[in-house]
């Protein structure tokens, strides 16, 4: 039903259309279809589109199925949704996720339910749901990836007459190599944590990738032999398979612990603007056709170098670069910084109304900061809330 209503809007069967097919007046915030913020799934409500769903995603059955499959696995082998679905401390997180997912109409809801448990889609889908929940908290009615003439924006604000705002969400991930390295290091870390010697280890990976599974097994065996011979807790190191392992002190438990190398690469102002412009090029024509605002929201994996400060600097015209380096090697991949001789605020195509930065939370959806685009032909006017603010 969402798609059908949107198609009628696109065919100019709305109160905003003139007889020749042009959109004559832009809907204002007062014409948005409002929804009570963080409404309980059990509370009665009326939807303008789609079907109502009584079953929540995060149920006891879903938790039990994950426990049955992954309870005996190492932490690094469990899916990213594991803590959200199974931890006793995450009940508030499950509550707002259930409310947000349950508020969506089909087929958007089914897409979310299918994607959220998948590691490849978990973080991007979680970020989209956090953005949706924050906008719902501001009183807006949200649909997930409705079909608008063959285009499926991540989120669409709907009013009784049709679409009123398009929202595209870009999530910055680390390079695949860094993510694969982290998984391999965590596999070694799990082996080290079975060594019955209470020391804290740090490892300097020097150059090259993380150890593969066979190498990690050899390292763990040789580490155990070495640590069982070390007299007390002394500042010592041992190079194994080309990796430098250092004893940093005594661990609080009965077994060894190990910090793993990490790094998130780099990101700069130009890449921020490229990410925004990529979304604008895809969805500004649709926003122009509907005569509605377009909001591009940026987010990042926690270990990624992209941040709200970097987004603000890029929009202000500053050439800024952010690095997430390996703590032990203090190394990062080389890159070139393009110099600027002035500080001119970024400009975009007229179809873009604002850029956002969302910082997803846990017990609550998080915060969404809106940076209005001064040259926008369709400015966004949203009420500020405890989760939504202007940058």
pLDDT confidence tier of residue 77, bands split at 50, 70 and 90: confident
Q: What is the DSSP letter of 58?
A: S
CB 181 within 8 A of CB 209: yes
Q: Are residues 29 and 101 in the same domain?
A: yes
pLDDT confidence tier of residue 233, bands split at 50, 70 and 90: low
Whole-number pLDDT of residue 391: 82
Give backbone dihedrals phi and psi of 319, rounded to 5 degrees, phi first: -85, 100
Which residue would you say has higher pLDDT here, 263 or 376?
376
In the chain, % of residues over pLDDT 90: 44
Question: What average pLDDT does range 224-243 have in this prediction?
Answer: 85
Query: 3-class SS at 295?
Result: strand
Q: Are residues 290 and 167 in the same domain?
A: yes
Q: Are residues 284 and 378 in the same domain?
A: yes
Whole-number pLDDT of residue 328: 43
Comparing 54-58, 89-93, 168-172, 321-325, the range with the smallest average pLDDT is 321-325
Interval 308-334: pLDDT, tens: 888 888 888 887 776 555 544 444 444
Q: Are residues 247 and 374 in the same domain?
A: no
Interval 219-229: pLDDT, tens: 999 999 999 98
Q: Are residues 151 and 274 in the same domain?
A: yes
Whole-number pLDDT of residue 295: 97
- pLDDT > 80? residue 55: no
**Which tokens is 331 given?**
């190394």
Mark which of 201, 234, 259 sits at the end of a domain: 259
* CA distances from residue 380 to 97, 324, 326 in whole angstroms, order as listed: 26, 33, 40
pLDDT confidence tier of residue 106, bands split at 50, 70 and 90: very high
Nearest to 311 by CA among 323, 294, 329, 299: 299
Which residue would you say has higher pLDDT here, 365 or 177?
365
Interval 159-192: pLDDT, tens: 988 999 999 999 986 656 666 777 788 888 889 9
Q: Are residues 368 and 346 in the same domain?
A: yes
Whole-number pLDDT of residue 205: 67
Mark which of 226, 259, 292 sits at the end of a domain: 259
* CA distances from residue 146 to 28, 105, 257 in whole angstroms, order as listed: 21, 9, 48
pLDDT confidence tier of residue 263, bands split at 50, 70 and 90: low
The helix, strand and coil proportions of the chain, stated in percent and rounded to the nearest 5, come to: 35, 20, 45
Q: Are residues 207 and 291 in the same domain?
A: no
Mark which of 235, 259, 283 sits at the end of a domain: 259
CB 378 within 8 A of CB 283: no
Q: How far apart are the first and last CA of the chain?
A: 36
Angle among Cα 290, 291, 293 to the nearest 5 degrees reads 105
Q: Are residues 126 and 184 in the same domain?
A: no
Q: Are residues 127 and 186 in the same domain?
A: no
Maximum pairwise Cα distance, the chain: 88
| Number of structural domains found in the chain | 2
Whole-number pLDDT of residue 174: 60
Nearest to 149 by CA among 297, 352, 288, 355: 288
Q: Are residues 200 and 298 in the same domain?
A: no
Look over the chain and give the mean of its residue pLDDT values, rounded to a whole number: 80
Q: Are residues 62 and 77 in the same domain?
A: yes
**Which tokens is 130 given?**
């956090």
Domain that holds residue 54: 2-174+265-390
Whole-number pLDDT of residue 348: 84
Residue found under tokens 């080389």: 334
- pLDDT > 90? residue 95: yes
**Residue 207 to residue 203: CA distance in whole angstroms:** 12
Interval 116-152: pLDDT, tens: 999 889 999 999 999 999 999 999 999 999 999 999 9
Q: Are residues 238 and 332 in the same domain?
A: no
């Amino acid at each position: 039903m969402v798609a059908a209503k949107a198609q009628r809007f696109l065919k100019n069967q709305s109160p905003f259309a003139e007889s020749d097919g042009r959109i004559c007046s832009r809907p204002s915030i007062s014409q948005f279809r409002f929804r009570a913020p963080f409404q309980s799934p059990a509370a009665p409500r009326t939807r303008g589109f789609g079907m109502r769903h009584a079953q929540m995603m995060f149920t006891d059955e879903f938790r039990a199925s994950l426990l049955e499959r992954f309870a005996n696995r190492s932490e690094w082998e469990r899916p990213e949704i594991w803590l959200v679905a199974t931890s006793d401390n995450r009940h508030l997180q499950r509550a707002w996720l259930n409310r947000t997912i349950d508020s969506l109409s089909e087929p958007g809801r089914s897409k979310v339910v299918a994607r959220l448990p998948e590691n490849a889609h978990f973080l991007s889908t979680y970020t989209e749901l956090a953005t949706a929940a924050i906008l719902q908290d501001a009183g807006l009615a949200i649909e997930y990836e409705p079909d608008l003439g063959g285009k499926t924006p991540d989120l669409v604000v709907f009013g009784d007459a049709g679409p009123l705002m398009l929202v595209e969400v870009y999530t910055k991930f680390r390079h695949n190599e860094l993510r694969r390295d982290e998984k391999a290091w965590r596999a070694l870390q799990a082996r080290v944590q079975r060594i019955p010697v209470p020391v804290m280890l740090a490892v300097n990976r020097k150059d090259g990738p993380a150890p593969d599974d066979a190498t990690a097994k050899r390292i763990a065996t040789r580490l155990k032999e070495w640590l069982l011979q070390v007299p007390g807790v002394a500042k010592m190191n041992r190079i194994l398979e080309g990796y430098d392992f250092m004893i940093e002190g005594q661990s609080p438990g009965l077994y060894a612990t190990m910090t793993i190398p990490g790094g998130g690469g780099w990101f700069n102002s130009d890449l921020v603007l490229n990410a925004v412009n990529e979304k604008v090029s895809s969805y500004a024509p649709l926003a122009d056709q509907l005569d509605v605002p377009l909001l591009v929201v940026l987010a990042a994996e926690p270990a990624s170098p992209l941040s709200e400060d970097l987004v603000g600097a890029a929009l202000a015209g500053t050439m800024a670069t952010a690095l997430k380096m390996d703590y032990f090697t203090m190394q990062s991949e080389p890159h070139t910084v393009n110099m600027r001789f002035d500080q001119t605020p970024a400009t975009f195509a007229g179809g873009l109304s604002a850029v956002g930065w969302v910082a997803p939370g846990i017990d609550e959806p998080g915060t969404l900061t809106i940076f209005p685009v001064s040259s926008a032909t369709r400015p966004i006017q949203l009420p500020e809330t405890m989760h939504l603010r202007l940058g």
